[in-house]
A and B are shown apart, each in its own frame.
Chain A
Amino acid sequence: MHGMAKDVTRKGTWQTSLGRKVIMGLTGILLIGYLIIHLTANLLVFAGDGGRLLNLYSHSLHQLGPLLFVARIALAALFIFHIITGIRVVIQNRKARSTRYTMAASKGGPSKMTPASRWMAITGLILLFFVPWHVNMFTLGPYYETVIDGVPMRDLYRLVVERFKDPAIAFTYAAVMLFLCMHLAHGFWSALQSLGALNRRWLPVAYTVGVILAILVAGGFFILPLYTYFFVPMPA
């Protein structure tokens, strides 16, 4: 009667093909959540107030003390977990077809295969190089000081504007955001699908929302350096 009971000695784990995708999806969606918060804050550059709001926001974050430290560790852990799992998934996928097709094409129709879905590992790799560059440039960059409402604090705004006034930095940054857009365009709906969250009704919705979200989030980060380069005056 209970045929399966005898045969199954293995238990389910998060290290099967399905489990790994749960990890990818979960870390990916949380990273997207972080990006949305990060972008919202960065839009304060557009406030046109000489960096007052941006600096106040950054200062308030630093007031969190140990909490900020914990958040940063958690974020780094998510990122590393995402990358390691992504690399393992890609290696296994390549092994699954060691003789490649001479000719391969999409059949179209309901297929969701796009350059964005095909290049996840490449766009991810670009982000892998981008993030340390970015952290090194801003978070670990020079400490300028300013005084707002009598409180001395870091002048992050000056640093940001100064860096983005360098065309090499502004344009490289913007270019990388195009790859971020691709990663998110497939990543958002894919993460929900990997987590088993979609059905006939929500799958097309999630796909469309993902593309819009990718354009908004990556678009925001794309415009920021270019707007700064062309239009924001260097703070006195």
Chain B
Amino acid sequence: MKFRLKIWRQAGPDQPGRFEEYTVDNISPDMSFLEMLDELNEELVRQDKDPIAFDSDCREGICGACGLMINGMAHGPKLGCTTCELRMREFPDGSLITVEPFRADAFPVIKDLVVDRSALDRIIAAGGYISVNTGSAPDANAIPIPKEIAEEAMDAAACIGCGACVAACPNASAALFTGAKISQLALLPQGHPERERRVISMVNQMDIEGFGNCSNHGECEAACPKGISIVNIARMRREYIRAVRTGGQVRASV
């Protein structure tokens, strides 16, 4: 297959960027989008040009490192799929493909298509954990959890932190990411002792990082490679409302 590519090039964080056009040929339809970019980069290196910087790690859809805006869609046109899992057969032969970095002021561009997503890590650090006394591992079934709850928590926990939700949101909101992280803990008893502090702390951090507000467009759910539902955003809001009403303090535990 043959493609024309319009790719965002930017030398560094505060440098101006621009689109450049490339052509790739002899692309197998079974190649992933990243493998296609690898081919292009090898060609650029052969021509002694600067290869295109993009992120990737596992290349099997589990690490969340990859993530490109392809033809205006986060991770490209296919639902439930990361950029590394996206195959070139999804695109018509000979077509023009536009590739941009995930754009949000909270995700500054580092180089070309690579953005700094550590804002998401700081949201986690603000409260996306539980505090326990370490020691011998507790028995897995010591706390019985109904299957539906466990499933719901597991679905929220499928988030790989790729940032596609932010990239796809017209407001660059991190509500789905934060909602998933809060939900996975709010659903389980282990998350309950700190739930009020957690939601307030994480929501504050989300705002400090400069993400936008959620307008319920629901585009994040479509962009999410793990199909995480916006019901997690509603759950985060319930958690937030109860936390504000109780003054953000932990309920008396006696």
Contacts and interface: CB of A to CB of B under 8 A. Distances in A.
B172 A4 contact: no
A7 B201 contact: yes
Contacts of B65: none
A118 B217 contact: yes
Nearest to A108: B222
Interface residues on B, range: 35 or more
B105 to A, nearest CB: 6
Given A96-B211, A102-B100, A105-B72, A196 B241 contact: yes
A52 B87 CA distance: 69
Contacts, number: 190
Interface in A154-199: 186, 189-190, 193-199
B131 A190 contact: no
Interface string A1-37: 1111101101111101111111000000000000000
A8 B201 contact: yes
Taking residues whose C-beta sits less than 8 angstroms from the other chain, chain A's interface range is: 35 or more
Nearest to B217: A113
B59 interface: no
B56 to A, nearest CB: 21
Nearest to A14: B244
A97 B173 CA distance: 9
Given A99-B103, A193-B216, A194-B237, A11 B79 contact: no
Contact of A13 (B212, B217, B236, B244): B244
Contacts of B213: 17, 20-21, 89, 92-93
Identify whether the interface residues of A are mostly helix, strand, loop, or mixed.
loop
Contacts of B79: 107-109
Given A7-B201, A200-B229, A110 B222 contact: yes
B198 interface: yes
6 cross-chain pairs, A with B, having the tightest CB-CB distances, nearest first: A96-B212, A112-B218, A196-B237, A103-B72, A196-B238, A12-B244
27 contacts: A16-B203, A17-B206, A17-B211, A17-B212, A18-B203, A21-B237, A93-B215, A96-B104, A96-B173, A97-B172, A102-B19, A102-B100, A103-B71, A105-B71, A107-B77, A107-B222, A108-B222, A113-B170, A113-B217, A118-B170, A195-B237, A196-B237, A196-B241, A197-B234, A198-B231, A199-B231, A199-B234
